[in-house]
Amino acid sequence: MKVWCYGDNINTDMLFPGKYTYTCSTAEEIKPHLLEDLDPSFAKNVKPGDVIFAGKNFGCGSSREQPVVGLKAVGIKAVVAESFARIFFRAAINQGLLLIECPEAVKSYNEGDSVKLDIDNGMIVVDGKTFSFTKLPKEIIAIRNAGGLLNYTRTKLENKKHNS
Amino acid sequence: MDMTFAEKILARYSENKDVTPGQIVTVHPDHLLTHDNTAAIIQKIETELDKYGVFSEDLSVIVLDHVIPASSEKTANNHKKIREFVKKFGIKHFFDIGNGICHQIMVEKGLALPGMLILGSDSHTCSYGAVGCFSSGIDRTEAASLMLTGETWLKVPQSIKMILNGSLNKGVFAKDVILHIIGDISASGANYCSVEFHGDIAVFSVDDRFTMANMGVEMGAKNAVFFVDETTERYLNNIGVKKESYTPVFADKDATYSKTYEYSLDDIVPVIACPHTVDNVKPVSDVSDIRVDQCLIGTCTNGRLSDLEVAARILKGKKIHPDTRLLILPASKNVYEQALSKGIIQILIESGGVVLPPGCGPCLGAHQGVLAPGERCISTANRNFKGRMGCKEAEIYLGSPATVAASALTGKITDPREVM
């Protein structure tokens, strides 16, 4: 598992350039352009199970969801950041991408440190040091567990139809 | 219990007596705004739309503004699919190309009103706080789900009180105020929070408030709001919205705020956001003499009549510097028509400006006015991210319409007080 490490205010244009917003919408179209203007090596070398560590305000800027769709599609296991921008945070819940807000873990991380995630118990281990993070409320975990918002909505609509 | 604006709105929309920050509530927004991205949104739920239809024909407001007129077969096809969707499902509020930028349409057509709750799949949906509306951005998937169900969850945010006292000096505008604030509290300074503007807000017109609420998201805010006053009522009356048709919401006197900031408007000078973050704010006078290749006046942040008027005052009877270009982007057809009848467009064209159709234009780098490597643009838009205007080796500076117009005259970043 590789840890990709970035700084503060990584915005949506760095994660996925705006010029492609209205021409790329499927995961396959998005993948080659992920982090294109920030780290051209990312799209080529990212592997399923990799993790991103970043500073404050990760995902700020546009409401475009291609960054989240793309990161999920290439198999990013979690993004650990000091903080996230709110639309990005919601988009991640809706796509089932795990975001962990844990400034202590980010500050403690040095290049090459081992990183382990224990999602169920809300723990992250960086170079042997354990940090806990706040788990999401149950209403939100239900959306992620359904495999994202659209699956959650489909089930809700089906149930409504059965009950009416 | 005394509540903030956000708490009161979210209590009202979730049918709770009161709510507290951190609480998750289910809400039914009054409107859902989507634009060119409607094509990608409906593509996600084709089967469900056929099976269940849309939740309500009145919920969606769809505006084609981002890449207009279409720049390629792909974007043309997106527009075509959206028009077909609108017809098939009887969507009531549809605005085809040329009507203007979605956020401007929401406000000037009276679709966003005081006390309403509106969500939109665009980050600058927060703009409608200009008229006392709670509005916030969401992603495409959530917009798709809302089209089907009409409901979603929101977390009740903490609120920040921004107290603005005094009055503005000559050459200082709402854009300078909001850039000054973002420079002070940082691009994440209001993350997840509801921002309320208090104090001497009568200083600001609805156009000014639009500029400031629009940039709420640039400090991470969930929404940003100005409370309804005589200025709002007059504006709404002028666009044909009577007082009886809306119910304004005000924060209670003893509401609880996570933070309070106080600014003296008299101390604010013309400022500019330097590359590549919106919070990299400096006085214009500190960065003057930097050459600019392109100047952009317009967008959802500063493309209204008062913005074009200020630019025209500075450029009247003069020519822009031969080594720079000036692009003008009215925020809507309505703004465009008013600017035409007042002779503003004529002045701007005579000075060397190029007028683009009302829409998002060069702001997002998808078409029109894309920058070349090594070029520098000064713009009235809301973002200066690397690559934002289509080229990652270009630089973007953000300022008020007066600063941009002054810079167009001299061909370098210029404090507007030098030419006003």
Question: Which residues, in sequence order, are CB contacts of B64 under 8 Å at separation 6+?
Answer: B35, B36, B79, B82, B95, B96, B97, B99
Å between B18 CA and nearest CA of chain A: 19
Q: Are residues B16 and B158 in the same domain?
A: yes
Residue range of the domain that includes B331: 270-418
Nearest to A14 by CA among A22, A25, A6, A26: A6
Query: Which residue, B263, B293, B325, sits at the end of a domain?
Result: B263
Structural domains in chain B (count): 2
Q: What is the CATH number of the domain that holds B33?
A: 3.30.499.10
Token pair in block for residue B52: 């269940």
Percent of chain A with pLDDT over 70: 99
**More confident: B1 or B171:** B171
Is the Cβ of A149 closer than 8 Å to some Cβ of chain B?
yes
Average pLDDT on B74-94 reads 97
Q: Are residues B35 and B140 in the same domain?
A: yes
Task: Answer yes or no: is pLDDT of B403 > 90.
Answer: yes
Q: Are residues B323 and B242 in the same domain?
A: no
Within 10 angstroms of residue A109's Cβ, the number of other Cβ atoms is 19
Chain B, nearest residue to A59 by Cα: B220
Å between B347 CA and nearest CA of chain A: 32
Smallest Cβ–Cβ distance between B277 and the set A9, A63, A156 belongs to A9
Amino acid at A22: Y
Location of structure tokens 């921004």? B162
Nearest to A37 by CA among B394, B66, B293, B273: B394
Å between A65 CA and nearest CA of chain B: 6
Q: Are residues B249 and B289 in the same domain?
A: no
pLDDT on residue A160: 85
Q: Across the strands, what pairs with A126?
A: A115, A129
Token pair in block for residue A147: 């495999």
Q: Are residues B157 and B199 in the same domain?
A: yes
Task: Answer yes or no: is pLDDT of B289 > 90.
Answer: no
pLDDT one-digit tens code per residue, B192-250: 999 999 999 999 999 999 999 999 999 999 999 999 999 999 999 999 999 999 999 99
ipTM higher than 0.95? no
Question: Which residues, in sequence order, are CB contacts of B143 under 8 Å at separation 6+?
Answer: B32, B34, B37, B41, B119, B120, B121
Average pLDDT on B83-112 reads 98
Residues A153, B36: C-beta atoms closer than 8 Å = no
Smallest Cβ–Cβ distance between B149 and the set A19, A37, A153 belongs to A153
* Helix, strand, or coil (residue B335): helix
Residues A21, B366: C-beta atoms closer than 8 Å = yes
Q: State the first-to-last Cα distance of chain B, in angstroms, to the nearest integer.
A: 49
Which of residues 378 through 407 in chain B touch A, CB cutoff 8 A? 383, 385-388, 390, 392
Å between A138 CA and nearest CA of chain B: 10
Is the Cβ of B277 closer than 8 Å to some Cβ of chain A?
yes
pLDDT one-digit tens code per residue, B98-142: 999 999 999 999 999 999 999 999 999 999 999 999 999 999 999
Nearest to B222 by CA among B137, B340, B109: B137
> Looking at domain A3-133, what is its CATH homologous superfamily?
Aconitase, domain 4 (3.20.19.10)
Chain B, nearest residue to A35 by Cα: B387
pLDDT on residue B352: 98
Average pLDDT on B28-53 reads 97
CB contacts of B361 in chain A (<8 Å) are none
DSSP code for B331? S
For residues B369 and B329, the answer to whether their CB atoms sit within 8 Å is: no
Location of structure tokens 């996925």? A16
Query: Which residue, B263, B279, B313, sits at the end of a domain?
Result: B263
Which of residues 12 through 31 in chain B touch A, CB cutoff 8 A? 24
**CA-based torsion, B52, B79, B59, B3: positive or negative:** positive
Domain locations in chain A as residue ranges: 3-133, 135-164
Residues A149, B72: C-beta atoms closer than 8 Å = no
Angle, helix A138-145 to helix A149-163, in steps of 10 degrees: 100
Q: Are residues B99 and B198 in the same domain?
A: yes
Chain A, nearest residue to B34 by Cα: A63
Q: Are residues B117 and B35 in the same domain?
A: yes
Q: Are residues B100 and B125 in the same domain?
A: yes
Average pLDDT, chain B: 97
Within 10 angstroms of residue B49's Cβ, the number of other Cβ atoms is 17
Average pLDDT on B313-322 reads 98
Q: Are residues B166 and B77 in the same domain?
A: yes
Token pair in block for residue B33: 């705004």
Residue ranges of chain A with pLDDT lower than 50?
none
Q: Are residues B112 and B258 in the same domain?
A: yes
Which of residues 162 through 201 in chain B touch A, CB cutoff 8 A? 187-188, 191-192
Q: Are residues B192 and B314 in the same domain?
A: no
pLDDT one-digit tens code per residue, B255-270: 999 999 999 999 999 9
Is the Cβ of B49 closer than 8 Å to some Cβ of chain A?
no
Percent of chain B with pLDDT over 90: 99
Taking the model in full, what pTM does it have?
0.95
Smallest Cβ–Cβ distance between A149 and the set B43, B142, B387 belongs to B142
Q: Are residues B234 and B288 in the same domain?
A: no
Amino acid at A72: K
